[in-house]
Amino acid sequence: MNWLCDLMEPRVMDDDMLKLAVGEQGPQEEAGQLAKQEGIVFKDVLSLQLDFRNILRMDNLWQFENLRKLQLDNNIIEKIEGLENLTHLVWLDLSFNNIETIEGLDTLVNLEDLSLFNNRISKIDSLDALVKLQVLSLGNNQIDNMMNIIYLRRFKCLRTLSLSGNPISEAEDYKVFICAYLPDLVYLDFRRIDDHTKELAEAKHQYSIDELKHQENLMQVQLEDEQARQEELEKHKTAFVEHLNGSFLFDSMYAEDSEGNKLSYLPGVSELLEAYKDKFVIICVNIFEYGLKQQEKRKTELDTFSECVHEAIQENQEQGKHKIAQFEEKHLSSLSAIREELELPNIEKKILECSADISELFNELMMLEMQLVEQLEETINMFERNIVDMVGLFIKNVRSLMAQCRDLENHHHEKLLEISISTLEKIVKGDLDEDLPDDLRALFVDKDTIVNAVGASHDIHLLKIDNREGELVTRIDSWCTHLVDKIHKDEIVRNRKRVKEINQYIDHMQSELDNLEYGDILD
Amino acid sequence: MEVLREKVEEEEEAEREEAAERAEWARTEKMMRPVEVRKEETTLTQETLRDLEKKLSEIQIPISAELPAFTKDTIDISKLPVSYKTNTPKEEHLLQVADNFSRQYSHLCPDRVPLFLHPLNECEVPKFVSTTLRPTLMPYPELYNWDSCAQFVSDFLTMVPLPDPLKPTIKSEEKVLPKKYTIRPPRDLCSRFEQEQEVKKQQEIRAQEKKQLREEEERLMEAEKAKPDALHGLRVHSWVLVLSGKREVPENFFIDAFTGHSYSTQDERFLGIESLWNHKNYWINMQDCWNCCKDLIFDLGDPVRWEYMLLGTDKSQLSLTEEDDSGINDDDDVENLGKEDEDKSFDMPHSWVEQIEISPEAFETRCPNGKKVIQYKRAKLEKWAPYLNSNGLVSRLTTYEDLECTNILEIKEWYQNREDMLELKHINKTTDLKTDYFKPGHPQALRVHSYKSMQPEMDRVIEFYEMARVDGLIKREETARTMTEYYQGRPDFLSYRHANFGPRVKKLALSSAESNPRPIVKITERFFRNSAKPAEEDVAERVFLLAEERIQLRYHCRDDHITASKREFLRRTEVDSKGNKIIMTPDMCISFEVEPMEHTKKLLYQYEAMMHLKREEKLSRHQVWESELEVLEILKLREEEEAAHTLTISIYDTKRNEKSKEYREAMERVMHEEHLRQMETQLDYLAPFLAQLPPGEKLTRWQAVRLKDECLSDFKQRLINKANLIQARFEKETQELQKKQQWYQENQVTLTPEDEDLYLSYCSQAMFRIRILEQRLNRHKELAPLKYLALEEKLYKDPRLGELQKIFA
């Protein structure tokens, strides 16, 4: 009766329903008693079954962080939602619902088996995140376009697919088409694809498949190129000299410089500009190469440092482990000796001995740790000094190279000014031969105007150079500071952790001994 | 001195094999005095020559004519070829040349030992030594290289010591003789001992403690030390010299034929070389041997150092290029060379000995009778041919504590072709520990099995071949109370399992058929790190204390930690105040966690973990019992294998492999039958007709047509005849039957029942015969035209009647 009512009434996935389901599906018998006694936390549930419950809306699932298997089939769900937190989900069953579009699955990267059988889906998409997908069931839906199959080519692990009961399955070459475009598929519509069909499909669609493959390859190559470029740029950025391996800086100087561009039409200026650019670019490339080299040096320095530190820590850990192993061996035998001892004074004496052992272990371990801290501190300080020096040298050299750029600019400015003034004189005298563009001629009104124009251009150029230099210096400085900070911080964290670990262990040992004492006295 | 001759047979074999490697036979003795190098030879005048001749003829050459002590009864002279019994004129000539050479030599070097030039062979015929060598290539790859070849020869030879030429009656010394090349000279031991002594002197404290020991040692040493050799430097011996150059031999070296060992030419045990020969020439060493053979220069082309006997046979230079050149010259100037030969040089005659033949059996048997015993100092090595011993034993090395070889220290036995893959058995007599080594392929994947007794539950170590077992077991150690197993490459990362057993509980009821296993007290299991799991969930060691119902877990240590998590479960079945069973209480699981976690605090988690471990405990316990059973099984199997000691026979071993022999014979039989059948089918119809025509001529068209027609008509006639024959028989039978029937009807009334039975049985038999004949006739009628057509077709296709086709073409 109740069940019938449920059929009528759409239900909500509330806490009670979930608790009930979890309780029913959780551990049974003795374990069940324990579970009941303690209560089950949703976070620990691995599998949940919520079928035939007339659920309309998916809700309240966010607590099931570790859920692996979720069954929501045979409900009246219309929209896939609320699954964002269930990132460990491997199996999701949403068959026999009223879903119209595939959505809300973008976080389920571990999903391997997805069933959307008997829904109202008309298009396969939004499955991009499901890289591990192996089984996809989309039968009894409304997919009517064969091109949906091509979308499925991206799932490299997909082996089982069901699409029967869709409009496309009526098509004449439905099976052959799918086999051709999804060559790794093993089962289609719950049947194994035989080799004969595979061959047939391959032969029939070879041309279009080849074309598709070619396109896919092209895309892949493009993507890889883009990635490689990006990586290259990233590398340059870590060296703080990106875009200096060419005329980028020079071009940027003239990008916002309208006066400069106008003045380049003056007679003799274009040659001057050409020579100026060449020289400028050479210096830029110098900076670029120097930067890469320095970056390499810094990296080696850092790698060596990390390696040494790692080795030191490892060795120290080994010593610690050894000490603990030694202690445990002795400790175990003394514990069993205490258990077997009958005389109370003897027991007390032995317990005291044990206690002394524990504190001695503590001292030894702490000593080891202190030793390591001191050693590391020294090393870190040395590294800090070295890296700061390296950065300082780099900045100094870059500054001097930049100064050369500025000199070039100043030189160019002087020349340009000279030409401008002589041109002005010519214009004033009226014996200018060449035609000048109108907007350039407009600058030659009087001496002040032309001098101002040339000066403005010069100022812009200097500003650009200053900016680039400033950017470089700021970034490398902050990188250096961050690096050093991080190393110090990491070391502190490591030390804290180790001290905590030691304390925890010693406390445990001590309390074990105390418990023994307590138990013995009870006995 | 007679070492060579006494075993001519065997040595010839060696010689001829070695000759392939252009080895030189060397004859040595200690040079007592430096040799004078002759210089006046070239300036001899006519007078001195005559004088010399006179002197030479007076010299009695003390040819090594003494008959060897070794009897020749074993050799049947009558069966030997003529070349053994007589000398060809060329050989006679050579002997004269040799005698002349020898005379000159003893004149010029009167102090040196007479030359060993032409000893008597087994037929008492003098033969020049070089002609006893016959280079032969053997079909065994082992004989292609000097080391394995020398080994074979040494195995093949049996050392028979000579009577001592000085004190022939004293036998003790004789025994020492053969040892010369088998043990290291005691001199070496002496010097080492002295060194040791010096070191010991410096360490006075130790010295005092060890003094007694050392004295004892000294005494032993003295006893071991060989007595001074009265014949030192007087003994002459033959061995093989291999010169560098060919076959990638980097430098000259000696091979001792009795041991097959190689020695450097610098070895000081070789005191000097008297003469050398190969199958082409004979050289006398003119170099001083005061420093053993160390300073000898083996450039045989140098006439000052090596006096040759025959000129020009080998142009004396033995270097590789020289020979190649001469080979080329041979082709070019055959005439010139011939003249030269006539004028100056004398060809070494062809060897008189027969080509050596070693049958595969003899080769495999190696030693005479397939068995050889070599006595070393404090050790004895026995060798057998494969398959000689039914248990596959091929060699045994016994080492002794004392020189008299009475107290055995240890025995090593090597086996071959064992079906159980047993390779080596090592028995240590002092500890009584036996160790068996196996080759890969034992059914239980055994590698090493060391034990003192074959009884179970005793000290024992069994090692297995890695990767050969499904469970990854590589070693199992047992003592009376423990069993330890080591694993590798298991999917569950188990690396070690150790079980402690308690004393066996005596079973009251003896009726139970099941064995009574020892109770397990404790099982310790260790695991490799499973990198797929976080360290704090990856168990490194678990200990099941079965008696105390306690389970201890130790987890792996995280990379950046020094402590590892631990957990201890104590199963107590208790009842609370209300009488309900307590399922799980917090004190049943004591854990230490490096990084305390939320979910492990839950009783449910602990309960499940404990239940899981309980199951695992049961499995482990079971596993231990299984292992015990397996040990029993292995022991049983080993005993069976030892008792049966079956040998495997390679399928390529056609002589021994019965199965393959049978199969081969069957195959041959089948082939033979097949062949016969083929012969039958290839019956030539045309042959009788072709025989009428003159042979060898090509048939004309007319002849072909006639031949075909004749053949066909003949065949037709045969078919008709056959049909008639069947028809006749058929009619005869029918007539007879009819007669009988008539007779029966006439006499039916008077017939006895026996007669009637007889008649009836005749009738049924006759009817059967008639029916068969009828069937055969019908079949013949059916097949005859077909057969006829088939023959016609065949004749058309017959190449001999090719003309026929032309008619139709």
Binary contact (B561, A27; C-beta < 8 A):
no
The pLDDT value recorded for residue B2 is 36
User: In chain B, what residues touch A512 (CB-CB under 8 Å)?
Assistant: 590
The pLDDT value recorded for residue B6 is 37
A240: left (phi over 0), alpha (psi -120 to 50) or beta: left
The pLDDT value recorded for residue A410 is 93
Whether residue B460 is found in the same domain as residue B556: yes
Name residue B263's beta-bridge partners: B254
In a 3-state reduction of DSSP, which class is residue B654? coil
Whether residue A338 is found in the same domain as residue A381: yes
Binary contact (B592, A498; C-beta < 8 A):
no
3-state helix, strand, coil in chain B (%, to 5): 45, 15, 40
The pLDDT value recorded for residue B133 is 82
CB neighbour list of residue A79: distance below 8 Å, 6 or more residues apart: A57, A58, A99, A100, A103, A104
Q: In A, what residues contact B, Cβ < 8 A?
A: 27, 30-31, 33-35, 37-38, 40, 44, 313, 317, 320-321, 324, 365, 494, 497-498, 501-502, 504-505, 508, 512
Residue A300 resides in a domain = yes
User: In chain A, what residues touch B590 (CB-CB under 8 Å)?
Assistant: 512
How many domains does one find in chain A?
2
Residue A204 resides in a domain = yes
CB neighbour list of residue A275: distance below 8 Å, 6 or more residues apart: none
Binary contact (B604, A34; C-beta < 8 A):
yes
B549: left (phi over 0), alpha (psi -120 to 50) or beta: left
pLDDT less than 50: residues of chain B: 1-45, 59-72, 167-190, 313-344, 511-513, 809
CATH number at residue A129: 3.80.10.10
In a 3-state reduction of DSSP, which class is residue B499? strand
Residue in A with minimal Cα distance to B583: A30
Whether residue A309 is found in the same domain as residue A211: no
Q: Cβ(B450)–Cβ(B436) under 8 Å?
A: yes
Q: What angle (nearest 5°) sits at the alpha carbon of residue A257, between those of residues A251 and A263?
A: 100
Q: How far is CA B184 from CA A55, B181, B219, B512, in A?
A: 98, 7, 19, 65
The pLDDT value recorded for residue B576 is 65
Residue A115 resides in a domain = yes
- Among partner residues A30, A34, A44, which is closest to B599 by beta-carbon distance? A44
Residue A271 resides in a domain = yes
In a 3-state reduction of DSSP, which class is residue A120? coil
Binary contact (A501, B563; C-beta < 8 A):
yes
User: In chain B, what residues touch A321 (CB-CB under 8 Å)?
Assistant: 557, 562
Q: What tens digit of pLDDT does each residue of B6-39 get?
A: 333 344 444 444 443 444 444 443 333 333 333 3
Question: Token pair 């079954």 is at which residue?
Answer: A49
Whether residue A266 is found in the same domain as residue A336: yes
Whether residue B294 is found in the same domain as residue B426: no
Residue B212 resides in a domain = no
Whether residue B799 is found in the same domain as residue B732: yes
Residue B115 resides in a domain = yes
Binary contact (A504, B594; C-beta < 8 A):
yes
Q: Cβ(B265)–Cβ(B296) under 8 Å?
A: yes
User: In chain A, what residues touch B568 (CB-CB under 8 Å)?
Assistant: none
- Pick from A22, A28, A30, A34 the residue to mutate for testing the B interface (most B CBs within 10 Å): A34
Q: Which of B269, B291, B308 represents a domain boundary (last residue)?
A: B308
Whether residue B635 is found in the same domain as residue B732: no
Binary contact (B560, A494; C-beta < 8 A):
yes
Question: Token pair 């405990």 is at which residue?
Answer: B617
Binary contact (A31, B602; C-beta < 8 A):
no
Whether residue A194 is found in the same domain as residue A258: no
Q: Which domain holds residue B102?
A: 79-160+238-308
CB neighbour list of residue A472: distance below 8 Å, 6 or more residues apart: A240, A241, A395, A398
- Among partner residues B560, B599, B604, which is closest to A31 by beta-carbon distance? B604
Nearest alpha-carbon partner for B141 in B129, B131, B133, B152: B152
Q: What tens digit of pLDDT does each residue of B440-453 get?
A: 988 889 999 999 98
Residue A235 resides in a domain = no
Residue A5 resides in a domain = no
Question: Token pair 């003239």 is at which residue?
Answer: A254
AA identity, residue B633: E
Name residue B255's beta-bridge partners: B240, B262
The ipTM value here is 0.75
Question: Token pair 């309240």 is at which residue?
Answer: A60
Q: Cβ(A96)–Cβ(A77) under 8 Å?
A: no
Whether residue B693 is found in the same domain as residue B634: no
The pLDDT value recorded for residue B513 is 43
Residue B249 resides in a domain = yes
Nearest alpha-carbon partner for A140 in A87, A190, A212, A84: A190
Whether residue A491 is found in the same domain as residue A428: yes
- Pick from A43, A323, A502, A504 the residue to mutate for testing the B interface (most B CBs within 10 Å): A504
- Among partner residues B557, B583, B611, which is closest to A33 by beta-carbon distance? B583
- Among partner residues A37, A317, A508, which is closest to B592 by beta-carbon distance? A508
Measured between alpha carbons, how far is B638 from B523 in angstroms, rounded to an integer?
28
How many domains does one find in chain B?
3
Whether residue A215 is found in the same domain as residue A254: no
Q: What's the full length of chain A, in residues?
A: 523
Binary contact (A38, B603; C-beta < 8 A):
yes
Q: What tens digit of pLDDT does each residue of A140-170 get?
A: 999 988 888 889 988 999 999 999 999 998 8
Q: Which of B275, B308, B341 represents a domain boundary (last residue)?
A: B308
Whether residue B137 is found in the same domain as residue B275: yes
Q: In B, what residues contact A, Cβ < 8 A?
A: 557, 560-563, 583-584, 590, 592, 594, 599, 602-604, 607-608, 611
Whether residue A214 is found in the same domain as residue A311: no
- Pick from A508, A514, A515 the residue to mutate for testing the B interface (most B CBs within 10 Å): A508
Residue A230 resides in a domain = no
CB atoms within 10 A of CB B659: 9
Whether residue A69 is found in the same domain as residue A198: yes
Closest CA–CA distance from residue A321 to any residue of chain B (Å): 5
Whether residue B491 is found in the same domain as residue B607: yes
- Among partner residues A31, A504, A505, which is closest to B608 by beta-carbon distance? A31
Closest CA–CA distance from residue A45 to any residue of chain B (Å): 12
Whether residue B550 is found in the same domain as residue B437: yes
Whether residue A216 is found in the same domain as residue A289: no
CB neighbour list of residue B566: distance below 8 Å, 6 or more residues apart: B552, B553, B554, B555, B591, B592
Binary contact (B563, A324; C-beta < 8 A):
yes
Residue B428 resides in a domain = yes
Whether residue A215 is found in the same domain as residue A296: no
AA identity, residue A441: R
User: In chain A, what residues touch B611 (CB-CB under 8 Å)?
Assistant: 31
Residue B474 resides in a domain = yes
SS3 letters for B273-302?
A: CCEEECCCCEEEECCCCCCCCCCCCCCCCC
- Pick from A317, A368, A371 the residue to mutate for testing the B interface (most B CBs within 10 Å): A317
Closest CA–CA distance from residue B541 to any residue of chain A (Å): 13
User: In chain A, what residues touch B608 (CB-CB under 8 Å)?
Assistant: 27, 31
- Pick from B529, B563, B607 the residue to mutate for testing the A interface (most A CBs within 10 Å): B563
User: In chain A, what residues touch B563 (CB-CB under 8 Å)?
Assistant: 324, 501-502, 504-505
Closest CA–CA distance from residue A353 to any residue of chain B (Å): 22
Q: Cβ(A402)–Cβ(A498) under 8 Å?
A: no
In a 3-state reduction of DSSP, which class is residue A450? helix
At A263, give phi and psi (nearest 5°): -65, -20
Q: Cβ(B601)–Cβ(B593) under 8 Å?
A: no
Whether residue B422 is found in the same domain as residue B519: yes
Q: Cβ(B516)–Cβ(B627) under 8 Å?
A: no
Closest CA–CA distance from residue B551 to any residue of chain A (Å): 15
Residue in A with minimal Cα distance to B562: A321
Nearest alpha-carbon partner for B299 in B269, B274, B276, B333: B276
User: In chain B, what residues touch A30 (CB-CB under 8 Å)?
Assistant: 583, 607
- Two tokens, residue B153: 């020869």
- B430-439 long-range contacts, CB within 8 A, separation 24+: B436/B638
Measured between alpha carbons, how far is B259 from B262 in angstroms, rounded to an integer?
9
Residue A470 resides in a domain = yes
Q: Which domain holds residue A172?
A: 11-223
- Among partner residues B583, B592, B594, which is closest to A30 by beta-carbon distance? B583
A171-193 b/e (C-beta count within 10 Å ≥ 16 → b): eeebbbbbbbbbeebeebbeeeb
Whether residue A34 is found in the same domain as residue A168: yes
Closest CA–CA distance from residue A33 to any residue of chain B (Å): 9
pLDDT less than 70: residues of chain A: 1-8, 433, 517-523
Binary contact (A502, B607; C-beta < 8 A):
no
Nearest alpha-carbon partner for B456 in B479, B428, B432: B479
CB pairs < 8 Å spanning A and B: 48
In a 3-state reduction of DSSP, which class is residue B543? strand
